[in-house]
Amino acid sequence: MDPIRIAIVGVGKIARDQHIPAIEGNPNFSIGATVSPNHRGPEGIPHFSSLEELIEKGPAIDAVALCTPPQVRYDLAALALSKGMHVFLEKPPGATLAEVAALESRAEKVGVTLFASWHSRYAAGVAPARAWLAERTILSAKIVWREDVRVWHPGQDWIWEPGGLGVFDPGINALSIATHIMPRPFFLKEATLSLPANRAAPIAADIEFCDTAGAEIHMDLDWRQTGPQSWDIIVETDAGTLKLANGGAVLTLPSGTEHNEDMEYPGLYARFANLIRGGRSDVDIAPLRLVADAFLRGKRALVEEFHD
């Protein structure tokens, strides 16, 4: 079959570090164009300043990967779907749940693929963790996602604006893993969101979840971490402790530490190709729904101003 001609919309760090190498390593795809008003893509690939310009003047495109901030993603996705293009949504899939639902409905009507991607689910330890927990009774869990925003998100003002999610931008990765590996659904009980006095999105969050059997899950998010960074999920079960460290890359079970191949973005694009070839969509909103619940029900606590 001919490769799927894909355009990358938004040529920032995540596109350069992850999307472009993953696409170039997958024979199911070929990069047909890049789109950005500010940054050009790889040499030799047609580049356009807007998706409208690509549609009007560019080569034929089968799919788009939207690597833009979530606040502008709906309009881009809706335009691409209206032209019969398959759409890959970087995480989070949208700025609101209603946006994502509208896109899912439109994709179904048009008959193209919509893929809400969650790259952390493809980290090396996640699949074996899910399989191990499926046969265990969960007693409790703890999620600790602490990093230094100045290191990982320098100058990215959009993450502090409404729809940018603040500390939930990385924190939603943890929730994408937790909702995937935990055998039972879980929901929010209470949350405290810490907002800098000069920002619209939280810099930290302390959250209590509970699963449908009563097991408590505590989540600690913080963007003020210095020194070693923490991206860990620890689950206590009737058969001992499971720990996923380094964002899901390293799995430790009572029997020892497992070493598996990391396939985050290559795994995403393999999934996207299979969805397109099979005429299906994958729009899981569970992680975003939990974030929305935290904003809806969480208490706001103002902290000192933040300056990048």
The residue ranges of DSSP E strands in the chain, in sequence order, are 4-9, 29-35, 47-48, 63-66, 86-89, 114-116, 138-146, 186-196, 204-211, 216-222, 230-237, 240-245, 250-253, 256-258, 299-303
- Contact between 235 and 125 (Cβ < 8 Å): no
CB within 8 Å of 123: residues ≥ 6 apart: 177, 244, 247, 248, 249, 262, 264
Q: Judge whether 91 counts as a catalytic residue.
A: yes
Nearest to 80 by CA among 101, 60, 51: 51
DSSP string spanning 277-291?
Answer: HHT--B---HHHHHH
CB within 8 Å of 156: residues ≥ 6 apart: none
CA dist 58 → 167, 306, 307 (Å): 37, 42, 41
Which position among 13, 57, 83, 91 bears the catalytic label? 91
Nearest to 262 by CA among 273, 276, 277, 247: 247
Inter-residue long-range contacts of 209-216, CB under 8 Å, 24+ positions, other chains counted? 209/290, 210/186, 211/138, 211/182, 211/184, 211/185, 211/186, 211/187, 212/184, 212/185, 212/186, 212/187, 213/138, 213/184, 215/138, 215/139, 215/140, 215/141, 215/184, 215/186, 216/140, 216/141
Sign of CA dihedral 34, 35, 41, 44: positive
Catalytic residues: 91
